[in-house]
């Protein structure tokens, strides 16, 4: 972890700099993986940490001879001044290094998939300043954020799509996104230059493409895959139909398109009426590269990012309730939450809330999470 954090430039003046930057960032990472939601809670985590823990994190001794945790003001100024792009790049590189999911191009297993999705930081709005908006590249399973960029106030997600994915190794992977990012040049860039595949969900804001896909003779095509699931007070079933579209659409709306998908969902929640929804998508994968079950799984995985990442950030870490708005602090806090969620997912944690509660009261556990110690418990604890 230290190796990657050293790549983040220190925004502070050299004069009066006491705490090493990597040490401060490690305190933040340890606190957030322990469930800290705010800068105040990060500060409190540092204050609870023992002298041994602070020493392992790289905090130097003060003149009286003891180590002191950084103050709230120190952490606030640092997070506000950090280079957001550099921090996200360091975090993404660390998580990618520990994600050992391999690309299987033989078709014997589903290819790794990356969802491109945006999220607003609702609480970051302040006076005349609009809320911050972040665009992320998140792996489907496990849910790990590999890249993140802030969408400027005068731009939109589409402009950030290519810069977001540019640093990633996409060869052989499947990139999923909604209709907002279904732009010709970007889709062609993914397939031809980055050697990736895509699945693009078609919605009403793409009227021409939507009409083309819906006009295909779906009633003449049998259902290729069905699946049913129950849990959390609801039952959901999904059916998938696929159809070759090279001769029908000619690649006009979607370059390199090979298949069209029609996914029909039925959901029955306890005490409520059954709902039905039909979703259409196109993909550069053909029938030899992915089965209908794989294709349905990719679309389902894209929808799942909302629950596996965004929902966790809002519920477990109270991201939407956070009123941090100064400088780059909102983005830095979001990056630290991505880091904590990604690392815990890679370690096999299914319930992030339960896991952070288990770590919260023992700062030593957090050091093991980041590989600072070889054991979950330090000697003598």
Per-residue pLDDT for 107 more than 60? no
Q: Is the pLDDT of residue 253 over 70?
A: no
Percent of the chain with pLDDT over 70: 91
Q: How big is the CA angle at 147 (ends 146 and 153), to the nearest 5 degrees? A: 155
CB-CB neighbours of 40 under 10 Å: 12
Q: What is the mean pLDDT of residues 95-105?
A: 70
Rounded to whole angstroms, the Cα distance separating 288 from 301 reads 20
Predicted pLDDT at 304: 80
Of the listed ranges 89-98, 246-255, 339-348, the least confidently predicted one is 246-255
* Closest residue by Cα to residue 46 from 68, 16, 74, 20: 68
What are the percentages of helix, strand and coil residues in the chain, rounded to 5? 40, 20, 40
Predicted pLDDT of residue 25: 97
In the predicted model, is pLDDT for residue 262 greater than 50? yes
Tokens for 325?
Answer: 């708005």
Return mean pLDDT, the chain. 87
Specify the residue for token string 């279904």.
182
Q: Which of 7-11, 321-325, 359-363 has the highest mean pLDDT?
A: 7-11
Residue-wise pLDDT tens digits, 119-147: 999 888 887 788 899 999 999 989 999 99
Three-state DSSP at 306 gives helix
14-18, 79-83, 277-281, range with the lowest pLDDT: 14-18
Task: Count Cβ neighbours within 10 Å for each residue of 337-360 and write b for 16 or more, e otherwise.
Answer: bbbbbbbbbbeebeebeebbeebb
337, 334, 11, 94 alpha-carbon torsion, rounded to 10°? 50
CA angle 185, 169, 339 (to 5 degrees): 110
């Amino acid at each position: 972890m230290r190796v990657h954090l050293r790549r983040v430039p220190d925004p502070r003046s050299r004069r009066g700099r006491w705490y090493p930057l990597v040490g401060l960032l490690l305190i933040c990472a340890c606190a957030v993986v322990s469930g800290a939601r705010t800068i105040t809670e990060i500060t409190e985590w540092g204050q609870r940490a023992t002298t041994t823990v602070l020493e392992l994190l790289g905090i130097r001794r003060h003149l009286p001879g003891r180590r002191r945790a950084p103050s709230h003001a120190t952490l606030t100024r640092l997070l506000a001044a950090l280079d957001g792009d550099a921090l996200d790049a360091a975090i993404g590189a660390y998580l990618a290094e520990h994600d050992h999911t391999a690309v299987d191009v033989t078709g014997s297993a589903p290819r790794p998939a990356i969802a491109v999705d945006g999220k607003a930081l609702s609480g970051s709005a302040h006076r005349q300043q609009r809320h911050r908006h972040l665009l992320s590249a998140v792996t489907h399973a496990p849910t790990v954020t590999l890249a993140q960029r802030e969408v400027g106030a005068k731009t939109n997600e589409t402009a950030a799509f290519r810069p977001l994915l540019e640093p990633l190794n996409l060869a052989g992977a499947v990139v999923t996104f909604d209709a907002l990012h279904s732009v010709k040049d970007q889709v062609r860039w993914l397939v031809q230059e980055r050697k990736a595949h895509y699945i693009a969900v078609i919605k009403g804001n793409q009227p021409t493409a939507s009409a083309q896909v819906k006009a295909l003779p779906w009633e003449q095509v049998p259902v290729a895959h069905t699946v049913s699931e129950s849990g959390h007070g609801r039952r959901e079933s999904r059916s998938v139909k696929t159809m070759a579209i090279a001769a029908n659409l000619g690649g006009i709306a979607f370059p390199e398109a090979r298949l069209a998908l029609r996914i029909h969902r039925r959901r029955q929640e306890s005490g409520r009426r059954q709902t039905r929804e039909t979703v259409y998508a196109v993909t550069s994968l053909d029938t030899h590269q992915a089965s209908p079950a794989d294709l349905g799984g990719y679309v389902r995985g894209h929808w799942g990012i909302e629950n596996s990442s965004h929902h966790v950030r809002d519920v477990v870490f109270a991201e939407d309730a956070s009123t941090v708005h100064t400088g780059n602090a909102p983005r830095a806090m979001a990056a630290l939450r991505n880091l904590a969620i990604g690392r815990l997912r890679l370690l096999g944690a299914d319930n992030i809330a339960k896991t952070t509660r288990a770590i919260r009261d023992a700062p030593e556990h957090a050091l093991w999470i980041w590989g600072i110690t070889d054991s979950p418990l330090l000697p003598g604890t």
